[in-house]
Structures are given as structure tokens and as C-alpha cells.
A and B are shown apart, each in its own frame.
Chain A
Amino acid sequence: MSTVALPSGRRIAWQRRRRALSAAWRDFRHDRAGMAGLVMLSLFVAMALAAPLLADEAGLRAVNATANEPWATPSEFSPLGTDSIGRSVWTQLVWGSRISLLVGLAATLIAILTGTVVGIAAGFYGHHIGGVLMRVTEWFLVIPFLPLAIALAAVLGPSIGNIILVIGITSWPSTARLVRSQVLTLKERLYVDRSRALGATDAHLMGRHILPNVSGLILANTTLTVPVAILSETVLAFLGLGDPTNPSWGKMLEEAFQQGALTEQAWWYYLPPGICIVLVVMAFVLIGHALEEILDPRLRERRAS
């Protein structure tokens, strides 16, 4: 007796997801603003990855720069001039991109993971657990971000890991609220009831039915959380809470300000890091808005109308 090999359920689900993904990519490619953001972001990621090729890391340390002229204007010797102790601004800019992007992405990862877990749990387990979780979320939403982050960072001490942690644990509540509101409507769907009737556990329902359906939303939210995290790192570093051994763009702005670049009119020190921050943040926002429009059916209708 011969049997026809039927594709397994998992395979069907996998194929469906791949189709959805390629459809989303097709839509994204037609979104001019989103593509512009993607190109911009790729350039900065390339810069961060190729940092060792673009500038020698040793140039970040003051001892290696004392022979250079302080406050040198941009020249052939150093494409972006030097700071008050003769370090190349270009070197700092290139290596700073790594720290700024790393902190932005890692902090976002923490925020999104926490926000998703809290949001799904709060939406799925209505009354008591959900109520308590939402109350805590509201609390964190009300406490002003920067004073909280300053207090946390001052207590924990300045290191790159702590900065990531601080931004991560102050940025999750908006994701949690967003995910929860979506889960509240999802869990009333028929297929969830059907699966439950078939004996599915809560873990199975959340993992297999709820999570895949909020993943689009989470993806768009992630792209919009990264720029906030990068801006947060910038201001924390500027206030003196950044990691002194791993200078980021924000740290560069702090040093520029502390070294008196403003009164020296040393625009080559404080313009480039600021411009880089603006461009990276804008890139993420453009990508995020494009994804939101593609993945959120409500917005898609509005765009079509």
C-alpha cells in the first residue's frame, strides 16, 4: 500500500510564514521612505563593522595622541580634525558607532523581551494577574524616564552593561501596553477556543497562537524602540553616566562640551556625532513607520483610502 506524503502541519505553517514575509518585503520595497531608512542604516552598520579597517583603535587613547596638534581643523592628516588632546575625531566617530548601535540594539532587546512577556501574560490572564501586571506597567509609564534612568545608572555605576540594563528596564512599558491590547482581542478568536477545547495548554496557546499573531506588531515596535534607546544612551552619556572606556557618540558630545569645543568653535568635534545620531535615529524611525503601515492592517486601510 502506498501512501502519499502529506506535508506536515509545521511545514505548512513555515511555508505560510515565508510567503507572508516575502509579501511584506515586496510592500516594503515599494515604500520609498522605508527603503531610504534601510540604506542609511546599512551604511552605519557597515561603518560599525568595518571600524578596524577605517581607523586604528589605539588612536582613542590619549597617550597615543599627545604628539598630534590639539584642536587641529579637518585636514588630510585627520579627516575630521582633532580634539583638545590631539585625538582624531574620525577615529572616535568610527568606534563610537559600535557602542551607540550596540547599546541601542541590546537595550531594545531587553525592553522588547520584557514588554512582550508582560504584555502577553497581562492580556492572556485577565483579572488578577493581568490587573497587577498592568498596574506595574502604568507605574513605570508615569515615572519620568530620565530621572529614573539617572537614579538607576548612578546607583549601578557607569559600565556599558549597566547602561544597557538601565535603558532596557526603563523602556519596556509602552511595548507591554501595546502587546496587551492586541492580545486581548486575539484571545477571543475562535481558533484559540478551538485549540483550547482540543486540550491545548496555556503555554501552547500563547506560544503557537498568540505570539505569532503579535510578532508583526512587535517587529514594528522594535524598530521604533531602537531610536529611543539610542537617544537615551546619548543623553545618559552626555550627563556623565556613560562607560568611560567605551566612548559612544553621546560620550563624544560630552567630551566636546567638557573640553570647551563650543567656545573653541571646534565644530568638527560636536557636529559629526550629532549628525550621525540624527541620521541613525531617522533611519530607524523611517523603517519603523514603513513596517507599521505594512504590518498593521488598520493603518494599511487608511493608506489605501
Chain B
Amino acid sequence: MSARFVTTKVLGSLATLAFVVVFNFFLFRVIATDPVANLFRGRNLTQEQRDTLIAEFGLGGSMLDQFWAYLKQTLSLNFGRSYITNEPVMSEIAEKAPATIALVGVSAVLSAVIGIAIGIVAAWRRRTKTDYAATMLTMTTYSMPDFWLGMLLLSVFGVSLGWFPIGGLEDPSSDATGIAHLGDQARHMFLPALTLTVAYLGEYALVMRSALLDTMREDYLVLARAKGLRDVVVRNRHAVPNALLPVITLAAINFGLVLSGAIAVEAIFSWPGLGFASYEAIHGPDLPMLQGLFLVFSASVILFNLFADFLYAALDPRVRDQ
């Protein structure tokens, strides 16, 4: 990777991040009517306290002064206090992030692996019953609201059959430690992770299938067969690695989708992460929290896109040497 490629990509991401920060300002301070009241709604304040808070959050003065104050706060990661818990928004987010990272991480990896596998099988056996079944599956999961799938899984495996707990991070009454504790958390994570995995594997399957179908027309596959290589070797060594490239770009897009999907799915399963926090913030309504969550979600998606750009370049010499 050339230094120029890295610089361009990093600067591009920073510009996007700057756009998000400015956009956030407009959203919560300009479009929102009376941001002062919004930030401190639901609390009885004396005029004196009010003035101190206005000064603290830089909500007084001209728009330009306010913007400057907002920039300084945002860069020091100060998004104000949640008015549900009255804790600083940033520490709330830091406390809840691990649960979401675990859930989204596991689901994103599983949906990619399973989706790619389905796509490979469907393309390799194109126009057979397997292919049509795979297409039906991807169509159905695409058409389904992800949280509704979560509701179905919860009602069948949680409520009716009782195989899995119906919500939360762990069993509050259990005092298990070590492996048993992790096992309990894994059991709690199973249904939400299954929901997100099934909801997002369809797109991987679809893109992998069409990428592999394109690759299957290449001359080097004819050569590989002519050399007498076994079908499995032709598939796994010659066709699949080349077809995987477009799927990597999709991983970047899908990361944002899985993260978004986690919002409603966490609400269904009371999974105590950032998604559930968003759900509670909407019902507050807790605007400082929503604002912080919006910035954190956007920043993580931008970061992931940058990572995918680098990964793509590392794998594809045509991009790398541009």
C-alpha cells in the first residue's frame, strides 16, 4: 500500500467524521427547537442553575459561539449528561459498549461465514433445488424486519419451549463464576445473535453467489479442470478466493447494518448494550444520550469502512497499486 493511498483514505474518513460532527450540531442545536429546554427537560432548575448549565454546555451566545463551544466539547468527548440516569453520556456509552461489541461481533462474523458458504453452494449448484432453496431463504430473510424475526424466535425458543432465557445479559440470581458464568452469558446471547445472524446472512449469500457465477466463466477455471483437478480443489483454491473480493466490501456495509439491526433486536431481548440504550433514550426522550449514540454509531461505521478499504487494498493488487 502506498503512503498516498493510506493518506487519501484516512483524510477521506476524517472529512466524513467532520461532516457527521457538523451535521450533529445542526440536528440537535439548530433544527431542534429550544435545545436548552431539550437538554434539561424534566428537571426542576432554578434560573441560577440553568444559567450555569447553559454556560457549561455553551448554549448561550451566537450560533458561531455555540458551534465553537460544541466543537470543543465533542472533541473532549463530553456529550452532556443523560437525563434518565444523570450520568455523563460518555461513561454510559463506555459501560454499555462491550455487550454490543460482543453481540454485533459474533453476529457479523457468523452471518458472513454462513452467508458466504450458502452463496458458494448455491452458485456451484446453480439452477438446482439447492440453489432455489437458497434464493428463497435469502429473499425471505431480506423481507423480514429483523426484530420481528427476534420476536418469533423469542416466542418459540424462549417462551414456548423454554430452551433459552427470554432476555438480559445473565441470570441475576445465579452466582456462578468463571466458565459457568460465561456459559450463562452465552446462553443469553444465543437468541439475539441467532436473530442478527439469520437476518443478515442473506446479502452475503446473494453477493457471493453472483460473484462466484461471474468467476466461474473465467478461462483459468477451464484450465484448472483440464489439469484434472478435483472439483473441490477447483472450487476452493481457484474460484472462491477470487470471488471473495466483492464480499469484503459488503462486510463494511453490513457492519453498519448489523449495528443498526442490533438496536431493535437488543430491545426485544433486553440485551443491555448500546441498542437497548437507544431504545430507552427514545422513550425518555433523552436527547443528550441520543446525540452521543448517534456520534458513536457513525464513528464506528466510518472506522470500519476505513478498515475495509485497507483490507481490500491489501488483498487486491489492482487497488493497491492505483
The residues of A with any CB-CB pair to B shorter than 8 Å are 135, 138-139, 142-148, 150-152, 154-156, 227, 231, 234-235, 238-241, 250, 253, 256-257, 262-263, 265, 267, 270, 274, 277-279, 281-282, 285
Contacts and interface: CB of A to CB of B under 8 A. Distances in A.
B279 interface: yes
A238 B264 contact: yes
B152 interface: yes
B68 to A, nearest CB: 22
Interface stretch (B73-81, B173-181, B297-305): B297-305
Given A147-B294, A274-B144, A285-B142, A253 B151 contact: yes
A229 to B, nearest CB: 13
Given A142-B305, A238-B264, A285 B278 contact: no
Nearest to B140: A278
A285 B279 CA distance: 29
Contacts of B260: 144-147
A258 B32 CA distance: 28
A143 B282 contact: no
Contact of B290 (A154, A270, A282): A154
Contact of A240 (B20, B27, B283): B283
B29 to A, nearest CB: 10
Contact of B297 (A144, A250, A257): A144
A277 B147 CA distance: 12
Contacts of A227: 143
B62 interface: no
B129 to A, nearest CB: 17
Contact of A277 (B148, B268, B290, B293): B148
A285 B135 CA distance: 13
A284 to B, nearest CB: 9
Contact of A278 (B143, B259, B281): B143
A293 to B, nearest CB: 13
Contacts of B293: 147
Contacts of A152: 27
Given A147-B263, A235-B145, 9 more contacts: A142-B302, A151-B291, A154-B287, A156-B31, A239-B278, A253-B145, A262-B158, A278-B143, A285-B142
Interface SS majority for chain A: helix
Nearest to A277: B145
Contacts of A235: 145-147, 263-264
Contacts of A262: 151, 154-155, 158-159, 166
Interface string B113-140: 0000000000000000000000000011
B159 A265 contact: yes
28 contacts: A142-B301, A143-B20, A143-B23, A144-B257, A144-B298, A144-B301, A147-B260, A150-B263, A154-B281, A154-B287, A154-B290, A155-B287, A156-B31, A238-B147, A239-B263, A239-B267, A241-B282, A257-B268, A262-B151, A262-B154, A263-B166, A270-B151, A270-B155, A274-B148, A274-B152, A277-B144, A278-B140, A282-B140
A144 B139 contact: no
B14 to A, nearest CB: 12
B282 A265 contact: no
Interface in B261-318: 261, 263-264, 267-268, 278-279, 281-283, 285, 287, 290-291, 293-294, 297-298, 301-302, 305
Contact of A253 (B140, B148, B158, B297): B148
Contacts of B19: 139
Contact of B139 (A155, A240, A250, A285): A285
A265 B155 contact: yes
B85 interface: no
B145 A238 contact: yes
Given A138-B16, A147-B298, A235-B147, A282 B279 contact: no
A172 B115 CA distance: 27
Contacts of B301: 142-144
Nearest to B151: A270
Contacts of A270: 148, 151, 155
B276 to A, nearest CB: 11
Interface in B150-190: 151-152, 154-155, 158-160, 166
Contacts of A282: 139-140, 143
